[in-house]
Amino acid sequence: MGKTLAIAILNLQNDFNIGSIIRTANAASVKEILLVGRKRWNKSAATGAHCLTPLTNIRTSEDLIGYCLDNGYAMVCLEIGKGSKDIFSYPYPEKTMLVVGNEGAGIPEVIMGASQGIIQIPQYGQVECLNAAASASIAIYDWVRKEQTGPENLVAGHKFERNPHTSNVHLLK
Three-class DSSP category at 113: helix
Query: Per-10-residue mean pLDDT for the chain, 173 residues long?
Result: 90 84 89 85 61 85 98 97 94 97 91 97 88 94 88 66 51 32
Task: List b or e across 28-61, with b for residues whose CB sees 16 or more CB atoms inside 10 angstroms.
Answer: bbbbbbbbbbbeebeeebbeebbebbebeebeeb
pLDDT at 27: 85
Beta bridge partners of 119: 78, 85
Q: Residue 103's pLDDT is what?
A: 85
Q: Tell me if 42 sits within 8 A of 19, measured CB to CB.
A: yes
Q: Where are the domains of the chain?
A: 4-172
Number of C-alpha atoms within 13 angstroms, CB side, residue 27? 15
Report how far apart the first and last C-alpha atoms of the chain are (Å, whole number). 6
Per-residue confidence (pLDDT) for residue 172, from 0 to 100: 32
pLDDT for the residue numbered 99: 98
CA distance 118 to 98: 10
Write down the pLDDT at residue 173: 29
**Residue 31 pLDDT:** 93
Superfamily of structural domain 4-172: SPOUT methyltransferase, trefoil knot domain (3.40.1280.10)
Dist. CA 75–CA 98, nearest whole Å: 6
- 98 vs 117: CA distance, rounded Å: 10
**How many other C-beta atoms lie within 10 A of the C-beta of residue 138?**
16
